[in-house]
């Protein structure tokens, strides 16, 4: 079974927020909330400044504190692609998973359940790419099976310098940023 992950090339990302808009449109994300967002990290001192633009979302971690803290099993790892999901009608809205995520990737949907990126599973199941990946005008985002050494994502991770977000938190995130 696949283990889906994402690779984002920060050398190509221009922070246009197309991925953000696509996600909101595709998933009917309520007004005022985001399942994905853009973070700009600036390091250094003029003229030696390093700028990295990151399209961020739930990292669909291998070690999932959001799943282990859930008292009802609403928050779970789906067998298909090991995608981390929330079953809406099982979620009681206790917000433990929201607090347990070191990336602050979750929020409480106004309807009461914990909400987050689903890797657009409804699209991926049909063989399509997640909405954010499919609309990226610079083609900086890649999606695929991390367990398949021949997949594009695996090859990019193997060949390019990359990092994940907050690896110190020990969650083994599955979104890689090429630098």
Partner 1 sequence: MQELTTTRHNLHIDPSMTVWGWEIPVYLFIGGMVAGMMIISGYFLFSNRYKETNCACYTLPIISLILLSVGMSALFLDLEHKLFVWRLYTTFKIASPMSWGAWILILVYPIIIANLLMGPPKFLINKFPKISLVTTYINQHPRLIQNIGVANMLLGGLLGVYTGILLSTMAARPLWNSSMLWVLFLVSGLSTAAAFVHMIAKNVKERELLAKADNGFLTIEIFVIALMIIGLLTSTKVHIHAAELLLSGAYAPVFWVFVVGNGIIIPLIIQLLAVNHKIKHTPIAPIMVIIGGLILRFVIVSAGQHSHWLNAHFK
Q: Which range binds partner 1 by CB under 8 A, 5-13, 106-114, 120-128, 141-149?
A: 106-114
Looking at residues 58 to 87 of the shown chain, list those that interact with partner 1 (rule: CB under 8 A).
Answer: 65, 68-74
Which of 115, 86, 139 shows the shortest CA–CA distance to 28? 115
**Residue 177 in contact with partner 1, rule: CB under 8 A:** no
Q: Which range binds partner 1 by CB under 8 A, 1-9, 107-115, 138-146, 153-161?
A: 107-115
Residue of the chain from 25, 93, 137, 152 that contacts partner 1 (CB under 8 A): 93
Residue of the chain from 6, 7, 8, 20 that contacts partner 1 (CB under 8 A): 20
Indicate the residue among 82 and 106 with the shorter CB distance to partner 1. 106
């Amino acid at each position: 079974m696949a283990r889906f992950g994402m690779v984002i090339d920060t050398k190509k990302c221009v922070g246009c927020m197309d991925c953000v808009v696509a996600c909101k449109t595709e998933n009917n994300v309520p007004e005022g909330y985001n399942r994905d967002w853009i973070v700009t990290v600036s390091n250094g001192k003029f003229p030696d400044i390093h700028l990295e633009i990151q399209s961020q979302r739930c990292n669909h971690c291998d070690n999932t504190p959001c799943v282990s803290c859930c008292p009802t099993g609403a928050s779970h790892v789906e067998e298909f692609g090991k995608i981390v999901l929330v079953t809406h009608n099982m979620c009681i809205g206790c917000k433990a998973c929201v607090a347990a995520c070191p990336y602050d990737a979750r929020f409480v949907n106004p309807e009461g359940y914990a909400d987050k990126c689903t890797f657009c599973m409804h699209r991926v199941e049909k063989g399509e790419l997640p909405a954010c990946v499919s609309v990226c005008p610079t083609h900086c985002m890649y999606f695929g099976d991390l367990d398949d050494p021949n997949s594009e994502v695996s090859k990019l991770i193997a060949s390019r310098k990359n990092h994940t977000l907050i690896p110190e938190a020990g969650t083994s995130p599955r979104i890689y940023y090429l630098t």
